[in-house]
Amino acid sequence: MVQMKRHTRHSTLSRRAHHALKKVKTNSCAKCGKAILPHHACSFCGTYRGRAVKKIKTAKPKKKS
């Protein structure tokens, strides 16, 4: 069997230069101002492009016995 050509350290590190994590880009919600991902509905108030698209469950007050 013929041994494959050895990759130099520089070649390996140059290839891995693109493996770093990138900063997540966020927008702010027009209604509540929370940070949201682009093209996603706000998980806090449930709006997308100024319209309510999903209902958000709110915590019910506990009954005192």
* Direct distance between the N- and C-terminal alpha carbons of the chain, in angstroms, rounded to an integer: 80
Q: What is the pLDDT of residue 26?
A: 95
Please tell me whether the overall predicted TM-score, pTM, comes out greater than 0.85 for this model: no
Q: What is the mean pLDDT of each run of 10 residues along the chain (65 residues)?
A: 84 91 93 93 91 84 79
pLDDT for residue 60: 81
